Structure 1
Amino acid sequence: MSGSTKEPEQRWTVECAPGAFPFLGHGIALFRRPLAFLNSLPAHGDLVEVRLGPQRAWVACHPELAHRMLLDASTFDKGGTLYDRLRSLMGDGVVTCPHERHRRQRRLLQPAFRPSRVAGLADLMGEEAAAVSARWRAGQEVDVSAAMMTVTARVMSRVLFSDSLDAATHAEVRRCLADVVRGLFLRTIVPVDAVFRIPIPANLRYRRSVGRLHAIVDAAVTERRGGGAHRDDLLGTLLAAAASDEDGAVTDREVHDQLITLLLTGVETTALCLASAFDLLARHPEAERALHAELDTVLADGRRPGAEHLPRLGHTRAVVTETLRHSPPGWLFTRVTTRDTELAGRRLPRGTTVLFSPYLLHHDPESFPEPERFLPERWLPGRAAARREHALVPFAAGSRKCLGDGFAMTEAVLALAAVAARWRLTHRPGPAPRSRPAVTLGPRALRMTCVPRTQRRADAAHRTTLRVPDSRRAGGNGVDDA
């Protein structure tokens, strides 16, 4: 007899969400006030049934249930209306493909996102963010959302295509991506294709932008296949894999689909994270001051952030992590069961839709005390950020965890550092507009005023020298400790 005791099985609560309308279910609440509706669900159970029109689905409200689901990707496969729409747009790339094809696709792309490769791209990331913000002027009102889309679109375009796209094409890619994302959410919640065949301006703009993105990718592939010099980018990696694949599994269609997938998923989400970060920093002066203190130490003499600075940008990384907790760009996802299974003691037949929401999990006070507060210090060394395990899932988990999570974090940290080292962005007078979720979550038209930080740093240094001789040295030690 070993003397060991078996851990008791957790007792789960399984309920149906109240307030469903006849025929429409909870669809009205999810459309009108999606975040508030999601945040209300944990009070009703760990696994909560919701009605989406005539269909029913289950929402995993406890992080352990969401984690179990994400770790079993063969049973809880990507599916549902969202992924049906995404497949029609992206094809069968690494984000949308079924489980049985995912492992091979991930192995194909993984070398481009290894830590050593990401570190080699760090200078490029800081360079693009610094170049965009260098064009701003003191007192200028800038569209921060558009500016961050420019940064991330240029970074991703260069990672995928090197210098194959000229400046005009880069700008066109950004505009097309914005049109596609706006139109995609409506196509997800309105499953009636006939509505989107009506030749109204919004539908025409969406179709035109989708067509141009595919045409730009095709042109880049054709140019490279037509004798263009080999470049050490992702397109080069895919073409080399296709050329050496004797079984013919890596087809021209797959090369195209992977490029479209990474272009669509690698641009907007990071841009929204950055826009949300600047929005939240402007609302929380203490967090902003702590960020600026670190940047003034690590990036002294106006140095541009790069790979060598990353180990010392601990608070900057904490700001990005807290932004991903507070305002995760990917806020709601669906899975569909591939066989009869069980979750939280409830039998789920094959074909059952199960939802998990990073926003819901990140805003549950049982996991994160004071979840509505923006507190980057949660993530500093020595702090207990979450009361529950597996509560932070901005990039999902398991075998379908975001392939580019390390890339996205590095890009966001360096871009935030490059801009915030030079500028303080402030809200215009009056209430700031709140962002409404679409396929992704974040401000899409955030306009802020540029305040140069060079003069502020000089004033602060002068005050420190005259009045508080030790405060700047103490701040520097704190940054080093972080």
Structure 2
Amino acid sequence: MTVKMLPGPKGTRLGGSRRDLQKYGPLGFFKYLASYGDFTTCRMGPFRVYLVNDPNGIQELLVTNRDKVRKNAGDRELLSRFLGNGLLSNDGADHQKQRKLVQPAFHMKRIQAYAETMVAHTEAMLQRWHDGAILDIDQAMMELTLTIVTKTLFNADISEQEVRQVSQALEDIQVNFTIISEQAVPLPRWVPTRANRALEHASKQIDQVVQRVIRERRASGEDTGDLLSMLLLSIDDGNGQGMTDQQVRDEVVTLFLAGHETTANTLTWCSYLLSQAPEVRQRLQAEVDEVLQGRSVTLQDLQKLPYTEMVIKETLRMYPPAYALSARIPTENITVLGQTITPRQAAMVSPYAMHHNPRYWPEPERFDPERFSAEQERARHKYAYIPFGAGSRVCIGNVFAMMEAQLLLATMMQHYDFTLDPTQRVEYDPQITLGVKHGLRVRLAQRQPAEQSLEFAKS
């Protein structure tokens, strides 16, 4: 039984708030819905949807009731068109089983082994940069993180041409997934629309590369120290069996997307924010210079770079790559903040809306890394900050992602400043992840700290 009628837009008789969604776009709509309160409701067609924008409510929905909710079937169907049955599109008992199989690939010792690879590829990229150049930092970060995820997933068994093939396919998937998801009633995958055909073609382009590597690695039986080896070596405690080639393929493609787009977008937004906040940039560079003394950053240095971590966390607050979590459908009546939600209804959480809730984040549009000082973090509700989700579906690669972002940012800021191109328009591009529309052009200014090695410095 519903306890009370929650506030929210009335919408139209037939479409509910679909017109509002089209008018404001995904991010604007979440902020619009949140303007009615921290727990609001609207209709999407005949269905009632709740937006939970309160930390206690988020905890109740995603943690307390985690075994009583499922991801929206429509979202899972769309994701499965190119991810197969990977962790992002899987659900229920199958998701829990598969997560246990994938988890060893993200063991801390495995992740630590990738740190040198991340720094080496970043430094190689910086060697190609030069003082005064105008650079699309968005494209540069996409190429860098794709190179890193390719190396850490496959330990190099891919040519440059295949990397470009996968990169283009991922871009096509983002664009066409967004087109399909915005349809009032997404057409089945077998209907030959332009978006469906493009999505199918992009998936095949990725499979050509991924399935070849899986076949070759399976045949060799070699553990090359990468994530793919761990996936192939994983054994189910219940039946003693490993993953099928299809399961491995689905997880690899999921990791490709999640490990590529999210970190690239985070670093792009971070570059933008730092270009607008010289005092933050200077403090960050002073920390990096003092700790590194001109040498390459290592994994052991990260604990000595707390402000670098604070800058990354604040970027993830303002521009969380996963700006909205898939709607949750109860399998039985559940209670969230005293409100009954039935299996005929849906509840949503938007990290973007939560991270801009002024009740928990004063002046939410202000870039302030100090929000993540140890003192402020201890005082804040755990579920007021959810850039990697929460509960049983929290991002399995969150430690990997944070480590990568910190290492890459420290390396770049050690050697370069970024100034935003004055002709650049900065707009959101909310596709599968939260990117920057039109890219992000910056002017490079090479730094020459006194301690910087002559080997790296350019003439």
TM over 0.5: yes
The superposition leaves residues 244-275 of structure 1 with CA deviations (integer Å, 9 ceiling, x where unpaired) of 99654622221111111111222101111111
Q: Secondary structure at the match of 1:316?
A: helix
Structure 2 residue aligned with 1:4: none
Residue aligning to 2:151 = 158
Matches within 5 A, 1:463-478: none
Asked if structure 1 preserves the Cα contact closer than 8 Å seen for 2:50 and 2:348, the reply is yes
Q: 1:13 to 1:320 in 2, by over 3 A?
A: farther
User: Which whole-Å CA distance do the structure 1 matches of 2:369 and 2:378 have between them?
Assistant: 10
Corresponding position of 2:187:
193
Counterpart code for 1:44: Y
Are the counterparts in 2 of residues 48 and 60 from structure 1 also a CA contact under 8 Å?
yes
User: 1:76 — aligned with what?
Assistant: 69
Question: Which residue does the alignment assign to 1:403?
Answer: 396
Structure 1 residue 54 and structure 2 residue 46: aligned?
yes
Name the aligned partner's letter for residue 407 of structure 1.
F
Counterpart mapping for 1:298-447 below 5 A = 298-301=291-294, 303-333=295-325, 334-383=327-376, 387-430=380-423, 432-447=425-440
Cα distance in 1, alignment partners of residues 378 and 286 from structure 2: 22
Post-superposition offset of 1:310: 0.9
Task: Tell me which residue corresponds to 1:478.
Answer: none
Alignment match, 1:67: 59
Q: Which has the larger radius of gyration?
A: 1
Hey, what's the Cα distance between the residues in 2 that align with 1:314 and 1:297? 13
Separation in structure 2 between the aligned mates of residue 196 and residue 274 of structure 1, nearest angstrom: 37
When residues 363 and 199 of structure 1 are mapped into structure 2, their CA distance, relative to the original with a 3 A threshold, is closer
The one-letter amino acid paired with 1:156 is: V
Q: Structure 1: 5+ residue runs without aligned partners? A: 1-11, 460-482
Q: Answer whether contact 2:115 2:298 (CA < 8 A) is retained.
A: yes
Check if 1:180 corresponds to 2:167: no
Contact 2:427 2:438 in 1 (8 A): no
In the alignment, which residue of structure 1 is the partner of 2:456?
none
Unaligned runs of 5+ in 2: 452-459
Matched residue, 2:142: 149
> Displacement, 1:279?
0.9
Question: Which letter does structure 2 place at the counterpart of 1:125?
Answer: M
Give the Cα–Cα distance (whole angstroms) in 2 for the partners of residues 304 and 444 of structure 1.
32
Contact kept? 2:135, 2:444, Cα under 8 Å: no
| Distance of 2:441 and 2:145 partners within structure 1 | 19
CA distance in 2, matches of 1:18, 1:230: 55
DSSP 3-state at the match of 2:77: helix
Match of 1:118, as an amino acid? I
Q: How far apart are the structure 2 equivalents of 1:430 and 1:156? A: 32
Determine the C-alpha separation between the residues in 1 that align with 2:323 and 2:72. 16
Does structure 2 retain, via aligned residues, the 8 Å contact 1:80–1:335?
A: no
Residue aligned with 2:67, SS: coil
| Secondary structure of 1:206's aligned partner | helix
Q: 1:196 to 1:29 in 2, by over 3 A?
A: farther
Deviation of 1:151 after TM superposition, in Å, equals 1.5
The corresponding residue for 2:457 is none
Task: Tell me if structure 1 keeps the 8 A contact 2:424–2:440.
Answer: no
Matched, 1:15 2:9: no
| Equivalent residue letter for 2:137 | V
Q: Specify the code of the residue in structure 1 equivalent to 2:153.
A: L
SS at 1:77's partner residue? strand
Contact 1:146-1:445 at 8 Å conserved across structures = no
- 1:402 offset after TM fit, Å? 0.7
Measure how far apart 1:284 and its partner are: 1.5
Q: Normalised by the size of structure 2, how large is the TM-score? A: 0.90
2:120 is matched by which residue type in structure 1?
E
- Within a 5 Å distance, the mapping from 1:204-219 to structure 2 comes to 204-219=197-212
For the Cα contact (< 8 Å) 1:366–1:387, is it kept in 2? no
Of 115, 127, 131, which aligns to 2:124? 131
Give the Cα–Cα distance (whole angstroms) in 2 for the partners of residues 431 and 171 of structure 1: 26
Query: Separation in 1 of the partners of 2:127 and 2:427?
Result: 27
Secondary structure of 1:426's partner?
strand
Q: Which amino acid aligns with 1:99?
A: G
**SS at structure 1 position matched to 2:383:** coil
Q: Is the 8 A contact 1:396 1:402 kept in 2?
A: yes
Identity %: 30
Paired letter, 1:25 = G
Q: What is the distance in 2 between the residues matched to 1:425 and 1:86? A: 36
Would the alpha carbon gap of residues 458 and 432 (structure 1) be closer, same or farther in structure 2, given more than 3 Å must change?
farther
> How many correspondences in the alignment?
445
C-alpha RMSD of matched pairs (Å): 2.5
| Counterpart secondary structure, 2:436 | coil
CA contact (8 A) 2:421 2:443 kept: no
